[in-house]
Amino acid sequence: MPGVSKGAAGEVLAARFLRKKGYDIWSANFRCRFGEIDIIAVKKPYIAFVEVKSRLEDSLFAPREAVTVEKQRKIIKCAALYLKNKCIDLQPRFDVIEIITKSDRPLEIAEISHIQGAFEAGELHAAF
């Protein structure tokens, strides 16, 4: 994927991974006034709001550690707005996909993990 940022490449790889697991991708890079959701995917009975994080093999921290409480709040607010504007009868879930790439080849996956229900939203209306 020459000419593509590591973050964008990670999101493409994550979307491929989800499709292989039977998910339908409804949206990528959904933006609203509260922030952005990397991927919105559906595999009934869930609608998954997915944050994708990529790091090199030799990084000090796991990719999931970059999904801070503040980042979670932004994702929850975006998800609430998305759900408010659509008529969706699916259970929302907040996932993280972490991608660890080779240190010498930053676009080659060394490991990929899908953390389902990585964080809870509590009451979605409380996000506003």
Chain segment 1-45, per-residue pLDDT in tens: 455 566 788 899 999 999 999 999 999 999 999 999 999 999 999
Rg (CA), the chain: 15
- Where does the pLDDT of residue 123 fall: very low under 50, low under 70, confident under 90, or very high at 90 and above? low
Over residues 41-92, the pLDDT tens digits come to: 999 999 999 999 988 888 888 888 889 999 999 999 999 999 998 888 899 9
Q: Which residues contact 27 (CB under 8 A, 6 or more apart)?
A: 37, 39, 40, 82
Is the domain spanning 6-127 CATH 3.40.1350.10? The answer is yes
